[in-house]
Amino acid sequence: MSADRPARVQTVLGSIAPDALGPTLMHEHVLCDIRRPAQRTPEALGPELALDNVWAINYGTVKRAARNYLLDARDVAIDELRHMLEAGGRSVVDLSSGGLSPDPLGLVEIARATGAHIVMGAGHYVHDYQDAANAARDAEDFAEEMVEQIEDGAWGTDVRAGILGEIGCQAPWTAQERRVMLGAVLAQRQTGAAINVHPGRHPDQPQEVADFIRVKGGRMDRVIVSHIDRTIFDAERLHRLADTGCVLEWDLFGQESSFYPLSDIDMPNDAVRLRAIRGLIGRGHLAQVLISHDICYRSRLVRWGGHGYGHIFANVVPMMRRRGFSESEIQAILVDNPRRLLTIGGD
């Protein structure tokens, strides 16, 4: 059981001291396949990305660009994480859970080649991406699988996960997704690991999930609600969610286009994200804020003209300073909060 083991962070190369984590991106995908299951055929890959089509692909005017949603090349991932290290990042959390083609051995190779700390997620993404066999499984069965992924190894390997998630939810929330979420709460009770929630796109869905986790006995200070930047656009909902004690994650930094194919929203840019975070800090919620890029498209990588995993360190941190964030606030968001959330055992 984890409780009698020392406080540690579980990376894909083994446990490290929490203080070794340093500046950490809490929601990324290093290796991932986020094509819809029906799109996963070689004939549907679409064009190679190039200078004369990448803007149009990003703006959604190239309809068949499935290749963009496939991060499967280890050599590319190694180059990209080196950009993060050069910009001042040290660690990255890969939340490619079940349905997103998790690749523990690929992460091991990338961690060895780059020296970056990589923490891997556990559990399952949204219903539409899950294995059909999950329909017959109950919450206890999902919990048992997630505990095993944290304590012994995941996806047929001995590589251990270090966080539960991203656990996928849609709006409306499906019964199967609720069973996976309850499984995550049960697995948290046993392992102490934090839970990362991918909420559905309705603005009330994050609260629905947070309330469910609280009622089921989850530790709210170890629950992270992802994708706030595409889900919640008013202070009332934001403050209500923060008042549950959960951690709020703005994880689409670098995505600044008006085009967002998955729902009809006004996607904020980085400056607007920082303004929302500033407001939350002003209300006393500094320990509940995380930022990341949630990179899962090729077009967001440096190789294909994108901002890459270094963007927050190279560009957003200087913007935070210009906007009056103190060094200790920046340190809390990029180092202290991730370290607290990724530390398991020792209690």
Verify binding: residue 300, Zn ion, rule CB under 5 A.
no
Q: Which two tokens stand for residue 41?
A: 């055929």
- Work out how close the CB of 51 gets to Zn ion at its nearest, in angstroms, rounded to a whole number: 28
Q: Is 73 left (phi over 0), alpha (psi -120 to 50) or beta?
A: beta
Contact in structure between 28 and 312 (CB atoms under 8 Å)? no
Closest CB to Zn ion among 16 and 171? 171
Q: Which two tokens stand for residue 18?
A: 């929490």
Closest CB to Zn ion among 101 and 114? 101
Closest CB to Zn ion among 100 and 154? 100
User: Phi/psi of residue 269, each to 5°?
Assistant: -95, 180
Considering only residues 198 to 217 of the shown chain, the ones binding Zn ion according to CB under 5 A are: 198
Distance, in Å, from the CA atom of 116 to the CA atom of 11, rounded to the nearest integer, reads 10
Residues 6 or more apart in contact with residue 262 via CB below 8 angstroms: 201, 230
- Work out how close the CB of 130 gets to Zn ion at its nearest, in angstroms, rounded to a whole number: 14
- Work out how close the CB of 166 gets to Zn ion at its nearest, in angstroms, rounded to a whole number: 5
Closest CB to Zn ion among 166 and 270? 166
Interface with Zn ion: number of residues (CB under 5 A): 2
Q: Which two tokens stand for residue 61?
A: 């005017």
Considering only residues 130 to 189 of the shown chain, the ones binding Zn ion according to CB under 5 A are: 166
Distance, in Å, from the CA atom of 255 to the CA atom of 244, rounded to the nearest integer, reads 28
Q: Hey, how many other C-beta atoms are within 10 angstroms of the C-beta on 118? A: 26
Closest CB to Zn ion among 29 and 82? 29
> Which span (47-55, 146-154, 197-205, 273-281) binds Zn ion, by CB under 5 A?
197-205
Closest CB to Zn ion among 137 and 198? 198
- Work out how close the CB of 193 gets to Zn ion at its nearest, in angstroms, rounded to a whole number: 18
Q: Which secondary-structure segment (H or E) carries 259? A: none
> Which span (14-22, 183-191, 194-202, 210-218) binds Zn ion, by CB under 5 A?
194-202
Distance, in Å, from the CA atom of 253 to the CA atom of 232, rounded to the nearest integer, reads 15
Q: What is the binding site for Zn ion (CB under 5 A)?
A: 166, 198
